[in-house]
Amino acid sequence: MKVGFIGLGQMGAGMATSLLKAGHDVTVYNRTRSKTDELVKRGAVPASRIADACGGDAVITMLANDAAVESTAYGDQGLLASLRKGAVHISSSTISVALSERLTADHAAAGQRFIAAPVFGRPDVAAAGELAVVAAGSKETIADVTPVLDAIGRRTFVIADQPKAANLVKLSGNFLIASVIESLGEAIALVGKGGIDRKQYLEMLTSTLFDCPVYKTYGKLIVEGKFEPAGFAAPLGYKDIRLTLAAAEDLRVPMPFASLLRDRFLTLLAHGGDALDWSAVGRLAARDSGKA
Amino acid sequence: MKVGFIGLGQMGAGMATSLLKAGHDVTVYNRTRSKTDELVKRGAVPASRIADACGGDAVITMLANDAAVESTAYGDQGLLASLRKGAVHISSSTISVALSERLTADHAAAGQRFIAAPVFGRPDVAAAGELAVVAAGSKETIADVTPVLDAIGRRTFVIADQPKAANLVKLSGNFLIASVIESLGEAIALVGKGGIDRKQYLEMLTSTLFDCPVYKTYGKLIVEGKFEPAGFAAPLGYKDIRLTLAAAEDLRVPMPFASLLRDRFLTLLAHGGDALDWSAVGRLAARDSGKA
Amino acid sequence: MKVGFIGLGQMGAGMATSLLKAGHDVTVYNRTRSKTDELVKRGAVPASRIADACGGDAVITMLANDAAVESTAYGDQGLLASLRKGAVHISSSTISVALSERLTADHAAAGQRFIAAPVFGRPDVAAAGELAVVAAGSKETIADVTPVLDAIGRRTFVIADQPKAANLVKLSGNFLIASVIESLGEAIALVGKGGIDRKQYLEMLTSTLFDCPVYKTYGKLIVEGKFEPAGFAAPLGYKDIRLTLAAAEDLRVPMPFASLLRDRFLTLLAHGGDALDWSAVGRLAARDSGKA
Amino acid sequence: MKVGFIGLGQMGAGMATSLLKAGHDVTVYNRTRSKTDELVKRGAVPASRIADACGGDAVITMLANDAAVESTAYGDQGLLASLRKGAVHISSSTISVALSERLTADHAAAGQRFIAAPVFGRPDVAAAGELAVVAAGSKETIADVTPVLDAIGRRTFVIADQPKAANLVKLSGNFLIASVIESLGEAIALVGKGGIDRKQYLEMLTSTLFDCPVYKTYGKLIVEGKFEPAGFAAPLGYKDIRLTLAAAEDLRVPMPFASLLRDRFLTLLAHGGDALDWSAVGRLAARDSGKA
């Protein structure tokens, strides 16, 4: 398929590479132009304006936050102005439920199609084309872009007809991961202060009840205290907890763990954690225990 | 080996059965005598007093709480009075760090040996002899009882020289599981109120980042709302969170998630949840959202 | 002085009455026209459009939330379009720090003046002209409208040159009151379940260390369980906690009590508490204890 | 009356002085003997053993915690062994509900009488004889010791027939004060980081809605950051929150603010706060905001 790809951060670059590997015809755009170089070497066509990435069957956006997606979609010569009738905007960014709802309506009004297809996985998983894709939108539209989704992910979960459902699922997933980070952080602070070898402890956990990627990945980062470079930066994690809470407010669902996580991220950021991986939240319990 | 087994609840019965299957010579004791019947049919020798289970190389205790272990160890004709010199008390109960420390000292003073070997796994896993055993104590003692530990578990993790370390690890593990229950409860309440199919949501989670036993087991219980009969009763979960907090107080480690879980269990119990599985905590978020 | 008054809810009606009593020339506007009747009888001039309330030296707005203030200020024939050069917009509503900042800039650009003068006190205190006024803005402007501020309040605290500071102070004050409600609710649930007479308990508290209006007012409401009619409705309390948290996010100040209060309000609203007084939050602890 | 006084810390010394001033015949005992010197100068009789303070109509204990009261009451030649029949043990210490219950039963069994009469007020208030006394126990016994209670307090609140009720009320009162400390701490951190003068802010609060001793006393300490010497040391505040939570567990009352306060004190103590006044908890919000 002929697709545009907008947003070549760590995740986006890996996803675009996967599309090229799968044989798609890919036009890439990034605000900082130099980030397209590597992909152009691999066969991508560089676009100097967003509109130039909008000539094909679909455009994928993989951007940092609501503001970036908003300006990309609604700006002069943005997606709404540039996509042809029937073309599909595949939004893989982790955005608010509210913006997803708005994009659904506005693309429909413009005769275009919109699906939300956020992904789970860190940069290395993206580069391997092994992401988990959570897609929501009209069944027909999703079917039409299946070759694209198959290229970026190991598996696609079609979760609902309304695109915004996929965004809610993605936010809830990031909330679950953040809960793993915090709970591991507290447990590791406890056993560590109790004199137990933290590495061995983690090995025990992850070879028994907690034998899954999330505990392995984040447990290792917390035990090693290695939060730079960030695979997923703390301000992004904070943003996602805030968007989770915003969705929970609209639905009137009190989420005490999420509230607590919000305060944790705020504490991390207030102490200069902007450049750290979000797993640095897992060190706050140790810090509060006087053993940072 | 010739071993005694004290405490034939759901977990203990399975563990004793595994010992018999492995060819050990097992004497069983339970306060409510009738619980020994099934095991006697499978070849166990029934004991009518605790002292009668103390004649062999080792005795395993698998009891509900500190009080039960205390009376079993310190009572008239209890373990301390009855075990022969050099015999090993293997404590598999989830007890406080403080009691473990005390037992270590008192068994040593009596010329006996003590190790802590708490286990991870629910009743069905115990019956299959597939538990994860976390052992701590003198290396030599652990080596001497390895045939016993191998019979009840799939794998034994030797974590430290001080028995109490295994108890701290076990408590921290139950805290981690309770955190999974609460976080899943909040996430499921959120997406459920957002109109997403909760079963499909769980399937997505557990086939991707959360592909591990804990999420599968507890996610299913929460989604189905099936909390009876209890595999692990709420008052026991509550007890473990309290013991975790007590250990954390002694070590001066603030654990905000654990504090919150304590309140959750208290709320559950205040509403008559004594007979429910501890995963019923995972329904409180939905209840608070007005959609029980 | 010749002043307009916009927003005749329970608080606004009392404040406008105080202005009339003090001899000011008052023009009143309310979206639901009938609410002006009582004040017209007392000598106020009714306005049928916002613009008609903008002909004097100053306009006071006392509205429910940001949206209401925004439409009043920025709408066609709103304050910005209608106030004459040099006239003062006195904003007494509890609004966000962000909106206050925006109004400061936009009124200045329009050659008008703006101060924030939120108030503390419930409807009966407003009717008595005994409110505490927290004012912020240019010293000269505040001096010019002092006769107005003196009419509505018992005392005016001039807190800073930037209007938004008064809004932050007002939000923080409502957070403190909500903290009193929650802490009293927990304490009363505890001693009540412990068999102590709750009325006598409150009397003891409020005649010793807690001998101040807030504890008396809210303690009484909680002990009597009398949450209707609402003096200050739960959705407004919820809004203020959210605005407090929003300001705290911008300033990067983690506020764990405020986070917890947010969840409390969310729980109250999810259970149909929209029409109750915000002190109904003080009954949640008793409810969680199984004794509603 | 002829009374013994045991425990001459900051609070006890003031209370004993008040008894002397009121003309009572006072025998004083303190573990560290030198603390009696000042009182002996004022007319007290020094006792070198607890038993020597037990010869009169009543003995007041004002000690730091359960352990101190337990050893004073139950030790060899302690109160139970030394008080004559019908003499009254007046327990003014802040102790657990459980210990109060035990003392009630054991003094009765020994033919002695027991009331709980904890007090509210800091050292300066104790020295002035202006404490608030919360008494519980048999009406007759309380009447018999009224001259003593009147000497130490400005007013006595008789709250129930069961002594333990007074202990529950005292604990709940300290919980309420700690809630004031935390909520003020968060509010002051917020407005302080927002550029508002913290002293002026506090003055505004305490001359309006929060015009009561608790807000004035603790607000001043927090704003000035003056936590040494401790009027009431952080470990004692921590102890009281723990005893509150223990009572709340027995009564099955979830208290989320109290849980959070427990973590706050734990954080303070983990960072070496043992010698600070408990109001130092009110600086943690500022610390978490990166502006200690």
Q: Which residues of D touch B267 (CB under 8 A)?
A: 254
Query: How far is residue D256's CA from residue C101's CA, in Å, rounded to a whole number?
Result: 35
For residue C292, the model assigns a pLDDT of 63
Which of D105, D127, D161 marks a domain boundary? Answer: D161
Cβ within 8 Å, pair B269-D260? no
Say whether both D236 and D282 belong to one domain.
yes
The pLDDT profile of chain C, 292 residues, written as one tens digit per residue, is 999 999 999 999 999 999 999 999 999 999 999 999 999 999 999 999 999 999 999 999 999 999 999 999 999 999 999 999 999 999 999 999 999 999 999 999 999 999 999 999 989 999 999 999 999 999 999 999 999 999 999 999 999 999 999 999 999 999 999 999 999 999 999 999 999 999 999 999 999 899 999 999 999 999 999 999 999 999 999 999 999 999 999 999 999 999 999 999 999 999 999 999 999 999 999 999 998 6
DSSP category for residue A283: G
CA angle D268, C185, C292 (to 5 degrees): 135
**Same-domain pairing of D145 and D193:** no
Task: Give Rg (Cα) of chain D.
Answer: 20
Read off the CATH number of the domain in which B140 is found.
3.40.50.720
Q: Does B79 contact chain A (CB < 8 Å)?
A: no
Q: Examine the domain organization and report whether B179 and B152 are in the same domain.
A: no
**Which candidate in A197, A204, A279 is best for mutational testing of the B interface (most B CBs within 10 A)?**
A204
Which residue range forms the structural domain that includes residue C26? 2-161
The pLDDT of residue C16:
98
DSSP state of A44: P
Contact assignment for A175 to B183 by CB distance below 8 Å: yes
Q: Between vectors from CA A54 to CA A53 and to CA A59, what angle results, nearest 5°? A: 85
Contact at CB, D260 and B262, closer than 8 angstroms: no
Asked if pLDDT for residue A292 goes beyond 70, the answer is no
Q: Which candidate from D159, D160, D187 shows the least CB-CB separation from C172?
A: D187
Would you call D229 helix, strand, or coil by DSSP?
coil
Per-block mean pLDDT, blocks of 10 residues, chain D (292 long): 96 97 97 94 96 97 96 96 97 97 98 97 93 97 98 96 97 98 98 96 94 95 96 95 96 97 96 96 95 72
Asked if pLDDT for residue A166 goes beyond 90, the answer is yes
- Identify the chains in contact with D, defined as 3+ C-beta pairs within 8 A: A, B, C
Task: Give yes or no for residue A291 having a pLDDT over 90.
Answer: no
Q: For residue D148, what are its two tokens? A: 């003593």
User: Dihedrals φ, ψ of C132, to 5°?
Assistant: -95, 125
Same domain, A150 and A19: yes
Task: Pick the catalytic residue from A85, A139, A164, A170.
Answer: A170
Chain D residues touching residue B254 (CB < 8 angstroms): 263-264, 266-267, 270
Tokens 């043990």 identify what position?
D89
* C-alpha–C-alpha distance, residues A36 and B41, integer Å: 73
How many distinct structural domains can be found in chain A? 2
Distance in Å, alpha carbon of D223 to nearest chain A alpha carbon: 21
Say whether residue D288 is in contact with chain A using an 8 A CB cutoff: yes
Q: Tell me: do B42 and B79 sit in the same domain.
A: yes
* Structure confidence at residue D150 (pLDDT): 97
For residue D256, what is the nearest residue in chain A, using CA coordinates?
Answer: A256
DSSP string covering chain D: -EEEEE--SHHHHHHHHHHHHTT-EEEEE-SSGGGGHHHHHTTPEE-SSGGGG-SSSEEEE--SSHHHHHHHHHSTT-HHHHSPTT-EEEE-S---HHHHHHHHHHHHHTT-EEEE--EE--HHHHHTT-EEEEEES-HHHHHHTHHHHHHHEEEEEEEESSHHHHHHHHHHHHHHHHHHHHHHHHHHHHHHHTT--HHHHHHHHHTTTT-SHHHHHHHHHHHHT---S-SSBHHHHHHHHHHHHHHHHHTT---HHHHHHHHHHHHHHHTT-TTSBGGGGGGHHHHHTT--
pLDDT given for residue B292 in this prediction: 63
Q: Is the domain of B87 the same as that of B227?
A: no
- Cis-peptide, bond into residue A123, ω within 30° of zero: no
Task: Sort out which chain C residues have CB atoms less than 8 A from A254's CB and list them.
Answer: 263-264, 266-267, 270
Closest CA to B152 of B44, B38, B20, B10: B20
C186 C-beta neighbours (distance < 10 Å), count: 29
DSSP D95-107: --HHHHHHHHHHH
pLDDT, one tens digit per residue, over A193-250 is 999 999 999 999 999 899 999 999 999 999 999 999 999 999 999 999 999 999 999 9
C170, C157 Cβ separation under 8 angstroms: no
Q: Report the gap between the CA of C282 and the closest CA in chain B (Å).
A: 15
- Answer whether B34 touches A (CB < 8 Å): no
A137 and A216 together in one domain: no
Tell me which residue has tokens 């805290």: B175
Structure token digits, residue D78 = 């302690």
Q: How far does B219 lie from chain A, in Å, by closest CA?
A: 12
**A touches which chains (3+ CB pairs under 8 A)?**
B, C, D
Q: How far apart are CA C27 and CA D15, in angstroms?
A: 61
A129 and A227: one domain?
A: no
Backbone angle region of D67, left / alpha / beta, with phi > 0 → left and psi within -120 to 50 → alpha: alpha
Interface confidence (ipTM) of the complex? 0.95
List the beta bridge partners of residue C119: C133
Asked if the Cβ–Cβ distance from B194 to A247 is below 8 Å, we say yes
Structure tokens that stand for B226 in this block: 């099936």
Instruction: Show which of residues 268-287 on chain B sit within 8 Å of chain C, judged by CB atoms.
Output: 270-272
Nearby residues of D127 by Cβ (< 8 Å), 6 or more positions away: D13, D14, D17, D18
- On whether both B237 and B151 belong to a single domain, the answer is no
Neighboring chain A residues of D290 at a CB cutoff of 8 Å = 270-272
Spell out the long-range contacts of D212-216 with Cβ–Cβ below 8 A and sequence spacing 24 or more.
Answer: D212/C209, D212/C210, D212/C211, D212/C212, D212/C215, D213/C209, D213/C211, D214/C209, D214/C210, D214/D177, D214/D180, D215/C212, D215/D180, D215/D184
Whether D248 contacts chain C with CB within 8 A: yes
CA distance A107 to A114: 6
Q: Which of D85, D164, D170, D199 is the catalytic position? A: D170
**Of B153, B183, B157, nearest to B169 (Cα)?**
B157
CA distance A151 to chain B (A): 17
H runs (alpha helix) in A46-162: 66-74, 79-82, 97-109, 123-127, 139-144, 146-152
Q: What is the pLDDT of residue C291?
A: 82
- DSSP states of B132-177: EEEEES-HHHHHHTHHHHHHHEEEEEEEESSHHHHHHHHHHHHHHH
Above pLDDT 70, what percent of chain B?
100
Considering the domain architecture, whether residues D20 and D113 belong to the same structural domain is answered as yes
> Is pLDDT above 70 for B240?
yes
Substitution target in C267, C288, C289, C291 with the highest count of B β-carbons within 10 Å is C288
Q: Which one of A161, A182, A209 terminates a domain?
A: A161
3-state class percentages of chain C: helix first, strand second, coil last, to nearest 5: 55, 15, 30
Q: Tell me the whole-structure pTM to 2 decimals.
A: 0.93
pLDDT score recorded for residue D291? 82
- pLDDT tens sequence across B190-239: 999 999 999 999 999 999 899 999 999 999 999 999 999 999 999 999 99
Contact C191 D169 (CB under 8 A): yes
DSSP code of B44?
Answer: P
Residue D251 φ/ψ, nearest 5 degrees:
-90, 0
Choosing from C170, C216, C239, C291, which is the catalytic residue?
C170
In this structure, are B220 and B100 located in the same domain?
no
Q: Is the bond preceding B123 in cis, omega lying within 30 degrees of 0?
A: no
Q: Do C259 and A254 touch (CB under 8 A)?
A: no
**Paired sense of beta strands C2-6 and C25-29, if any:** parallel
Angstrom distance (rounded) from CA D110 to CA D85: 7
Chain B environment of A197 (Cβ under 8 Å): 159-160
Q: What is the mean pLDDT of residues A254-283?
A: 96
Q: Which of B266, B271, B290 minimises the CB distance to C270?
A: B290
Closest residue in C to B260 (Cα) is: C260
Strands D2-6 and D58-61: parallel
Q: Is B170 a catalytic residue?
A: yes
Catalytic residue among B170, B220, B226, B239: B170
**Cβ(A247)–Cβ(A171) under 8 Å?**
yes
Distance (Å) from the alpha carbon of D263 to chain B's nearest alpha carbon = 5
CATH of the domain at A247: 1.10.1040.10
pLDDT tens for residues B106-152? 999 999 999 999 999 989 999 999 999 999 999 999 999 999 999 99
Same domain, A154 and A172: no
Domain boundary pick from D115, D139, D161: D161
Q: Does A290 touch chain D (CB under 8 A)?
A: yes
User: Closest-CA residue in chain A for C249?
Assistant: A266
pLDDT of residue D292: 63
Tokens read off for D132: 């608030």
Number of H helices, E strands in chain B: 14, 9
Q: How many other CB atoms are found less than 10 A from the CB of residue B49?
A: 12
CA A201/CA A46 separation, integer angstroms: 48
Angle among Cα C242, C247, C248 to the nearest 5 degrees reads 95
Å from B270 to nearest chain C CA? Answer: 5
